[in-house]
Amino acid sequence: MEILAFGVTADEKPLLERAFAGEHEARCLEVFLTEDTAPIAAGYEIVSSSVNADLNARVLNILDAGGTRMIAQRSTGFNNIDLDVAARLGMTVGRVSFYSPYSVAEFAWTLAMAVNRRIVRASIRTRDFDFRLNGLMGRDMRGRTVGVLGTGKIGEAFTRIAHGFGMNLLGWDAVENPACAALGMTYVQKEELFASSDLISLHVPLLDSTHHIIDAAALKAMRDDAILVNSSRGGLIDTEALVTELRAGRFSGIGLDVYEAEAGVFFLDKSLETVEDDTLARLVTFPHVVVTSHQAYYTSDAVGQIIETTVRNVADYLAGRRSENTLVPGPA
């Protein structure tokens, strides 16, 4: 059987093709799954989507009309899929419920240290043979306080690195993680975490209850010289409120691997186009802000695990099995 995979990067393509080789075959497309591209899937029973696909009701109905019965999403997040419509159409939907938490945790720390030690600014200067140190002063992390919002697998991995730096550990989550507590983490209300942390890193999923968890009030509660890092989901931060605070000269550094309006922008080359998103355009002009394009997960280890799980999800669907990765089981 041939599986149609949307949103496949050049690095991912050989891994995906090799994983499906044998009993199945993967046709890999660079384009993302949207209302415009969904008709390409006509005749394909199984479609694999990437995290930036837009599987709204219209897209799902197009896929259904073309004969698609199974969607294998190559990501943990699934807020881009209308699961109710998929269930009504009798589709099976699977995701990757787990992959290397170290890829995201390590990248979150990469962002934190990049903004703390002004790495991007220093690199740009030295390319122009400007080796002055003015404006490049950072801070030691040892002895400072880190606040971790969300202490699941990724949050725990991030906390272990913070512990290695010798930081004071604050955490906030609906359920406390004993492994983080064993490292010396103190769980507090998020308002106390905002006010007390030198570095804040977000590792919660995007739900109705966490949308804009970093809103104007949360930003104002943070220290003026705090560092804020988001490698989870863009919708966790009210970006317009963040820009307002940055314009007021607040925060030592901001590291963002995600952006709440990234759909249609991230993963694409927009370098020759006029930027229509005024908020994003303003955000990237601040010298102490680093924005990357949703690449925290993008290691050979994590992508390999994502693909292996996707292959298993397809096998489970064909065998009529369900697993912890099944979001919508389809007809019995």
Spot the catalytic one: 88, 262, 308, 324.
262
Distance CA 29, CA 100 (A): 25
Distance CA 203, CA 172 (A): 10
Distance CA 149, CA 111 (A): 16
Provide the 10 A C-beta neighbour count for residue 237.
25
Spot the catalytic one: 121, 233, 240, 308.
233
- The DSSP line for 202-246 is E-----TTTTTSB-HHHHHHS-TT-EEEE-S-GGGB-HHHHHHHH
- Residue 118: enclosing H or E segment and its boundaries? none
Provide the 10 A C-beta neighbour count for residue 43.
10
- Among the residues of the chain, which ranges form H helices? 12-20, 57-65, 83-88, 101-116, 119-127, 153-165, 178-182, 190-196, 216-221, 239-247, 278-283, 300-319
Distance CA 294, CA 257 (A): 5
Which amino acid appears at position 100 of this protein?
Answer: S
> Is 117 a residue of the active site?
no
> Is 322 a residue of the active site?
no
Cα torsion 206, 210, 212, 213: sign: negative
Spot the catalytic one: 294, 308, 312, 321.
294
Q: Look at residues 95, 38, 6, 9 and name the one whose alpha carbon lies nearest to residue 294.
A: 9
Strands 46-49 and 186-187: unpaired
Query: Which residues does residue 4 pair with via DSSP β-bridges, in sequence order?
Result: 27, 47
> Is 294 a residue of the active site?
yes
Exposed (0-12), middle (13-18) or buried (19+): which is 39, by Cβ within 10 Å? exposed
Which amino acid appears at position 257 of this protein?
Answer: D
The residues annotated as belonging to the active site are 233, 262, 294
